[in-house]
Amino acid sequence: MAYEKPLPRVTADTKPFWEGSKEHQLRFQKCRSCGHVRWPASVICPKCYSDQPDWIVSSGKGKVYSFVVHHRTFDKAFEQELPYVAALVELEEGPIFLSSIVDLRPEEVKINMPVEVTWKDITQEFSIPKFKPLS
Amino acid sequence: MDLKDLKDKYAIAGIGYTPQGVVPGRTALSFYIEACANAIKDAGLKSDDIDGLICYRTFPGLLGEDEVTTYLLAEHLGISPTTLSQEANCCRGQLLHAMCWLELGLCKHVLIVYADNAATSGRLDVGHTAADNGVFGHFGYKSRYAMAARRAMHLYGTGPHVWREIAVGQRQWANLNPIAIKYNEPLTYEDYDNSAYTEEPFRIEDLFIPTDGGRACIVTSLERAHNLRNPPAVIMGTGQGNPSRDYTCMEQPTGAKLSGKIALEMASIKLEDIDACEIYDCFTSTVDSTLKDYGFYGPGEALDWFKGGTITPGGRMPVNTSGGLLYEAYYMGLGPLTEAAMQLMGRCGERQLGPKTNTKQPEIILCSDNGGLYQTCATTILRRL
């Protein structure tokens, strides 16, 4: 069945991120000048304005920074999953990344809960990172 | 030149209302026009007197409507202002910009307006997403504020047990305001607790309801305002706080903290001098975060501060006396600002602060206006003449 949920919108900034995801690597930009690891991806480092980033591969481990339990949705493709959890995950390397929490009931999700990335291959072109409780 | 030099120099001299709630068949533009015309008339001015026009953001046109622009609005009002302004994404600085134009001598009477037909068009109910949030089913501004609210629960021990005090309190005010969309719809704690989750931790009663309608006000010098129709609401202080951080970074304080500090300093008053507050309340939790950052209470103290009817009719610190954006109608920062001005002018009928509602006679009211995810905030302090 065709994948009906929104697909990532790949930009020049996020292309390396989604290419990494395809290989099940969670990649972030790390500033070559000051070492700041950033998300969202951007042309310059917001700390020092250097335009020289390296793309590093995150451990994929982090903790729940905050979360929302969705009891309704604006996109019918998500309806069968209601209620579902969207969460901000603070990765070990520093970035805070919006994703989904899976393998847990919504009432079991807590702030600061340790989580790790798990990959979902959604189309030929895209794999998306979701997060599950740290094993 | 210092911001403090502008203290008590400018005032709100007229306010424009329109029919509001669910008003089928009308365009957003029609509410803009009506609100502006009514503000001009209310001040006792003529169209030719208006030489500055500021529109809050307009949302994308639907149903084949015209995009509402300042010049289209000027055309329909038959005015040719010296200067025009319309922001795009809810940055908050409209009142300060009006004061700057007046101070420069560019303008004598500035009109500020917001309107929409959001109830009947469904314009605000679409799932605008930031970046790739939609990939994960996280749509719209409600989701983003819910995320911040959950973080605030963790950091500050707040939550639905606090927010229901705001919901119930504001609903009491709405029930004194016949034009409020939730007039004649009382809300108990039990009603709140039983209302459905939407973007949890938010329930339906935590959310503002998109409205058809418009609201406008006239800003002019206090000197000119003296000769106009209404007793002016004097601008004692105004400030901005724009902690422009990544939207995912929701560690508070919000922009309320800095903007409040600047406004209080400009007004040369302390928080204890405030008689009532009109707080930007797209959600109940927004009121909580804003009041905390102004310093009305500290982290973990919210419930103690609210309980016992602090913000309700008869309370010691009335908040959102029209019912607010939550339950009166949604006009961005013009909801709080115009309600404060109306209260100080003594034009609020059954909900009038003072003996009628067993509250303090209002001399000074603090208003907030918040945009983005607490990333841009204006605070304004008005006083009675």
Written as tens digits, the pLDDT of chain B (385 aa) is: 789 999 999 999 999 999 999 999 999 999 999 999 999 999 999 999 999 999 998 877 666 777 899 999 999 999 999 999 998 888 899 999 999 999 999 999 999 999 999 999 888 776 666 678 999 999 888 999 999 999 999 999 999 999 999 999 999 999 999 999 999 999 999 999 999 999 999 999 999 999 999 999 999 999 999 999 999 999 999 999 998 765 555 667 889 999 999 999 999 999 999 999 999 999 999 999 999 999 999 999 999 999 999 999 999 999 999 999 999 999 999 999 999 999 999 999 999 999 999 999 999 999 999 998 888 999 999 999 9
Asked if A28 and A53 count as a contact pair (C-beta separation under 8 A), the reply is no
Answer yes or no: do A100 and B199 touch at CB < 8 A.
no
Answer yes or no: do B150 and A68 touch at CB < 8 A.
yes
Half-sphere exposure of B182 (CA within 13 A, CB side): 25
Answer yes or no: do B154 and A111 touch at CB < 8 A.
yes
Long-range contacts of B98-103, Cβ-Cβ distance < 8 Å, separation of 24 or more: B98/B10, B98/B52, B98/B54, B98/B219, B99/B6, B99/B9, B99/B10, B99/B219, B99/B235, B99/B238, B101/B52, B102/B10, B102/B52, B102/B219, B102/B220, B102/B221, B103/B6, B103/B9
Q: Given this structure, which CATH class describes domain B140-208+233-384?
A: alpha beta
Instruction: Let me know if the fold of B3-123+211-225 is the same as that of B140-208+233-384.
Output: yes
The pTM is what? 0.96
Topology of domain B3-123+211-225, CATH: Peroxisomal Thiolase; Chain A, domain 1 (3.40.47)
Cα nearest neighbour of A13 on chain B: B131
Sign of the C-alpha dihedral computed for residues B228, B230, B234 and B238 taken in this order: negative
* Calpha distance A60→A46 (Å, rounded): 23
Residue B125: its pLDDT value, please?
A: 73
Cα nearest neighbour of A106 on chain B: B200
Residue B113: its pLDDT value, please?
A: 98
**CA separation, residue B311 to residues A111, B186, B254, B272, B341 (Å):** 31, 16, 21, 15, 18
Answer yes or no: do B250 and A66 touch at CB < 8 A.
yes
Asked if B14 and B30 count as a contact pair (C-beta separation under 8 A), the reply is no
B-chain CB neighbours of A96 within 8 Å are 246, 248-249
Domain ranges of chain B: 3-123+211-225, 140-208+233-384
Asked if A121 and A127 count as a contact pair (C-beta separation under 8 A), the reply is yes
On whether any CB of chain B is under 8 Å from the CB of A55, the answer is no
- Say what the ipTM of the complex is: 0.96
- Write out residues in chain A with pLDDT < 50, as ranges: none
* Calpha distance A21→A126 (Å, rounded): 7
Answer yes or no: do B136 and A128 touch at CB < 8 A.
yes
Answer yes or no: do B134 and A75 touch at CB < 8 A.
yes
Residue B130: its pLDDT value, please?
A: 66
On whether any CB of chain B is under 8 Å from the CB of A121, the answer is no
Answer yes or no: do B200 and A69 touch at CB < 8 A.
yes
* Calpha distance B179→B212 (Å, rounded): 12
- When computed from its CA atoms, the radius of gyration of chain A, rounded to whole angstroms, is 15
Residue B46: its pLDDT value, please?
A: 98
DSSP state of B244: -
From the list B133, B199, B249, which residue is nearest A96 (CB)?
B249
Contacts of B345 (CB under 8 A, 6+ apart): B230, B231, B232, B233
Backbone phi and psi for residue B269, each to the nearest 5 degrees, phi listed first:
-130, 170
B-chain CB neighbours of A68 within 8 Å are 138, 143, 146-147, 150, 199-201
Cα nearest neighbour of A82 on chain B: B137
Asked if A130 and A119 count as a contact pair (C-beta separation under 8 A), the reply is yes
Asked if B250 and B373 count as a contact pair (C-beta separation under 8 A), the reply is yes
Cα nearest neighbour of A6 on chain B: B135
On whether any CB of chain B is under 8 Å from the CB of A99, the answer is yes
Q: Which of B124, B125, B128, B132 to mutate to test the interface with A (most CBs of A within 10 A)?
A: B132
DSSP state of B354: T
Burial class of residue B337 in the structure, from the number of CB atoms within 10 Å of its CB (0-12 exposed, 13-18 middle, 19+ buried): buried
Minimal C-alpha gap between B2 and chain A (Å): 31
Residue B246: its pLDDT value, please?
A: 58
On whether any CB of chain B is under 8 Å from the CB of A81, the answer is yes
Q: What angle do CA A33, A35, A41 make, to 5 degrees?
A: 95
Answer yes or no: do B147 and A68 touch at CB < 8 A.
yes
Within 10 angstroms of residue B198's Cβ, the number of other Cβ atoms is 20
**CA separation, residue B369 to residues A34, A70, A133, B95, B347 (Å):** 36, 27, 39, 10, 22
Cis peptide leading into residue B201 (ω within 30°): yes
Cα nearest neighbour of B140 on chain A: A74
